[in-house]
């Protein structure tokens, strides 16, 4: 199975995840309370946007990319 067949994220979804991921990583370094570890979710958002696949979308059959 090719990666292109598995991809389930569109460009808008990926851009939103990149913006939120960077913002959460900034929180990781800027906040000094226990909430700072929420910033680790930024790594997950950046990773999923980089590969274009969201594992949580798969069981629900969600695809935000457009078929060509």
Per-residue pLDDT tens for 43-53? Answer: 999 999 999 99
The Cβ of residue 52 has, within 10 Å, a number of other Cβ atoms equal to 17
pTM of the model: 0.85
Given this model, what pLDDT does residue 43 score? 96
pLDDT exceeds cutoff 80 at 68: no
pLDDT of 40 over the 70 cut: yes
Work out the pLDDT band at 13, boundaries 50, 70, 90.
very high
- Encoded tokens for 28: 């990781």
Tens digit of pLDDT for each residue in 21-33? 999 999 999 999 9
């Amino acid at each position: 199975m090719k990666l292109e067949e598995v991809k389930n994220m569109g460009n808008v979804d990926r851009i939103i995840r990149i913006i939120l991921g960077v913002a959460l990583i900034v929180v990781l370094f800027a906040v000094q309370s226990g909430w700072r570890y929420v910033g680790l979710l930024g790594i997950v958002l950046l990773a999923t946007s980089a590969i274009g696949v969201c594992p949580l979308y798969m069981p629900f059959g969600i695809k935000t990319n457009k078929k060509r």
